[in-house]
Chain A
């Protein structure tokens, strides 16, 4: 780890101003990605702005037809929350699949969406559920928020405050873990809200999380795993590495989508 300055703001406003003042500074939320990369000297932010003392960033509430989760809410909290389990059980299940118990008790939803790791789980949930990312400045629809590998629509000085998920009728996540890291090698989140069906894929896209429109179209005819039979996803634009070729990952997208649909129907 290289030396850095450490800041502990009390308000979002202070955090945003520190972020604006410290070029290349980083927000520290749960630190489950940032701290290991700093320890390995792969990241060297000159300043860390720790959100842990900012009031009101953590919590889960139902607001009308929306489930609103504070940016500093831990994965374990989402996984075990009765409110989430009632409103969008597939989201609670997904949170329970992130990392391991230690990661789930430190890692946060805000950190996950702001980092936009191409193998992270939350971006798929946000995209499939049509979430809105609420920052200190504005509200950004998930479709416009995740812009590339570790890239988001966040502007300098912009801090994620909440994520709002519209309540859907059916939703589930199926994840095929990378055998080594156990991050998603292919994770598919499927959500149905009325006639709107969205399928988001993480872990596989060369440019990060994306919507599988071919699968969405097929599921619009009938929301059943059988609707996906015979649909093979193209391998172009899909990641390849020592664990999985683009072809294998592409194959797994359909398999995981079917499993997600099966799980969603079962709920």
Chain B
């Protein structure tokens, strides 16, 4: 391993720019003649728009234009789309209501977009937005999914019971048969709480239009600028792709929320032509809470059937998934194909049957958020397994080991074919690191102080590296999920890598450069990673689902293979040897059996001057591209162990120790991977203990600021003890599995299993706030006193 190659903990190249304030985020960009947009948002959860009177706003100082949904319709600008078709049990397509970028006829959640005011300054736009008079006829809010499914109030006419779909996966008959012969059935009702994504940088957009070239440019906070361009061109109809450039410069976090094509970005790029000047919009934090797509929000009834020895026979779930008021870009896939196929967890479960209802409510749209479906599945599986072990009087570790999948490849009953893994190895290592043996002593010490101590396990699996295009296509995706790369070697041997993966915190500028350095033997500071601009990178599918390593780097690896292959041809001419005798190692091309060799940079120069092969079949230059389409998902897995202490007097939960052992396959940069794990755990602990989007019965968002939406803070978390095991992924050239979401997937059930272990009962839901834990501890206090 070289100091900057694969496996080296190289410091992040991009951080100096970020921490010295030199990053270029969308809001740092200003275009000549720029105007500012402010959105008029619905104050009601559900209402008919009777009229919009913009006259006072138009007369307000500095106002350039006020636009509404009628203007979008007049320009034949289409609505926002959901790019994944889900079919009902009976084979009919899901019921997707229209999603205009500016509301037409009705508003369906607090924060829904009614009009946009464009003015000379941001303050003028905001002032004028308050003067747009909208006459509403209020309709009842429907916040609760069960209430929505009664259909008393209909949100979209196409979905009379507010049911978007009624989907299922698995073999119902086989699963029912498994339950019929079960010795024991564990039943749980689970709430997977709704979360707000909260990237550090809120969303922002600048729409720009060059009337001379008839060219649109959208600067935006996107995780996938090419997908944004595709949707804005092909579906929304802003402009054909060659007339629309999307630039996603430095982006300050996304967690999924910046995958989607939203109303604000669409309106800015459209309005730029309309007003003939660039239009900028920057979300404030409350707008982010109101209108960024939220995550999770499931109600699930789950059952696990076991035989007399505690061997799992079957698993059955019924889930209601809140999709909010409109279907966001990938929303339909999250509680279906990103959820149910993971319900086998790390376990050999012969029969699984999942039923999922997608439900409209008068709340913000819900879509992918770090983990997207997989945290929900892991929470179901790991809670069921833990509770089953407790009910059967078996040690939760022994119960898990008894049911672990041990032979690979393993075909689950729910689509996924696990390629490789060693679940026992991760569990054993995590138990050792967590000093599980010493837990009983630590629990006694806590009890002496009047505290309740608990230990919780989570053995998770996820499907990452999304995804084989044929597989997702057969499941309803409107796109393929390959990735592209282009490696441009300059004449002096420096390298530019153009990638369709987008970096918004993941450190690609470092890890991707490490791969290039490793393979070409050039220093990483001679490698530039170029991404986030549809004019520079031909196409790409972006960053989400822990795919940039497994899919994006595999594309780079393929392109590097081609660069080396061509380099050998050039070297052969340059050293007057046969191509078959050229070897490439440690950055040098050499003629085998001789002392003749050329450095990579020398061969690059030869490729460009072409003196030695002029007129031959070999073309000058050294630039290669590749598309990589994975053959399977990757399956990162691992075990997290949470040890915590509860103060029953106040309900405060303090996490005492956290152990994570993850199998990510090949690790490119262990420091960055550890950082991803830390951040993921923090978010998962956030979901388990702190975070929860709360709408009141009128559909008003109560948690619209940090005064009420509780984020995890550094002092809420212990120092994490992080380790790895490795079974390299066989389906991609680098053996990478992906690490971006693991922490957020693994951690919530570890926390809740630990809390329920401490409390001695299962009656706690996420977020386990001090009040909730205090209430739950009250149930337990008589028993503790008796002990």
Contacts and interface: CB of A to CB of B under 8 A. Distances in A.
B378 interface: no
A242 B694 contact: yes
Interface in A219-267: 241-245, 248, 251-252, 255
B286 A180 contact: no
Given A252-B650, A255-B649, A255-B650, A179 B774 contact: no
B512 interface: no
Contacts of B710: 179-180
Contacts of A40: 286, 705
Q: Which of B690, B709, B774 has the most chain A CB atoms closer than 10 A to its own CB? A: B774
B707 interface: yes
Nearest to A252: B650
B173 to A, nearest CB: 44
Contacts of A2: 127
B707 A181 contact: yes
Contacts of B694: 242
A242 B702 contact: yes
A251 B286 CA distance: 32
Interface in B536-551: none
Contacts of A243: 708, 769, 771
B707 A180 contact: yes
B708 A181 contact: yes
Interface in A111-138: none
Nearest to B127: A2
Interface residues of A, number: 17
Nearest to A39: B284
Q: Which of B286, B706, B710 has the most chain A CB atoms closer than 10 A to its own CB? A: B710
Interface string B699-725: 000110111111100000000000000
B708 A242 contact: yes
A244 B650 contact: no
B707 A251 contact: no
Contact of A180 (B123, B649, B709, B775): B709
Q: Which of B286, B690, B694, B771 has the most chain A CB atoms closer than 10 A to its own CB? A: B771
Given A252-B650, A255-B650, A179 B770 contact: yes
A179 B123 CA distance: 33
Nearest to A40: B286
A32 B440 CA distance: 47
Nearest to B770: A179
Contact of B708 (A176, A180, A252): A180
A248 B770 CA distance: 10
Given A242-B703, A243-B769, A176 B709 contact: no
Given A40-B286, A176-B650, A244 B707 contact: no
Contacts of A1: 123
Contacts of B770: 176, 179, 244
B649 to A, nearest CB: 5
Q: Which of A1, A41, A242, A243 has the most chain B CB atoms closer than 10 A to its own CB? A: A242
B690 A179 contact: yes
B294 to A, nearest CB: 16
Interface string B281-313: 000001000000000000000000000000000
A245 to B, nearest CB: 7
Nearest to A100: B713
Contacts of A41: 126
Nearest to A251: B774
Contacts of B709: 180
B61 to A, nearest CB: 11
Nearest to A41: B126
A243 B650 CA distance: 13
Given A243-B769, A248-B771, A251-B774, A181 B286 contact: no
Contacts of A242: 694, 702-703, 708
A245 B771 contact: yes
A137 B460 CA distance: 67
A180 B770 CA distance: 11
Interface string B169-188: 00000000000000000000
Interface string A173-212: 0001001110000000000000000000000000000000
Contacts of A241: 708
Interface in A39-73: 40-41
A174 to B, nearest CB: 10
Contacts of B702: 242
Given A242-B694, A252-B650, A255-B650, A180 B771 contact: no
A209 to B, nearest CB: 19
A85 to B, nearest CB: 24
A100 to B, nearest CB: 10
A179 B769 contact: yes
Contacts of B775: 248
A248 B777 CA distance: 12
A2 B123 CA distance: 8
Contacts of B771: 243-245, 248
Contacts of B649: 255
A180 B711 CA distance: 7
Interface in B656-711: 690, 694, 702-703, 705-711
A252 B649 CA distance: 8
B682 to A, nearest CB: 15
A145 to B, nearest CB: 25
Contacts of A180: 690, 703, 706-711
B757 to A, nearest CB: 22
Nearest to A258: B649
A87 B130 CA distance: 52
Interface of A: 1-2, 40-41, 176, 179-181, 241-245, 248, 251-252, 255
24 contacts: A1-B123, A40-B286, A41-B126, A176-B650, A176-B770, A179-B770, A180-B690, A180-B703, A180-B706, A180-B707, A180-B709, A180-B710, A180-B711, A181-B706, A181-B708, A241-B708, A242-B694, A242-B708, A243-B771, A244-B771, A248-B651, A248-B771, A252-B650, A255-B649
What 7 A-B pairs come out closest when comparing CB atoms? A180-B710, A181-B707, A179-B710, A248-B771, A244-B771, A180-B708, A242-B694
Given A181-B707, A242-B708, A244-B771, 19 more contacts: A1-B123, A40-B286, A40-B705, A176-B770, A179-B690, A179-B710, A179-B769, A179-B770, A180-B707, A180-B708, A180-B709, A180-B710, A180-B711, A242-B702, A243-B708, A243-B769, A243-B771, A248-B651, A255-B649
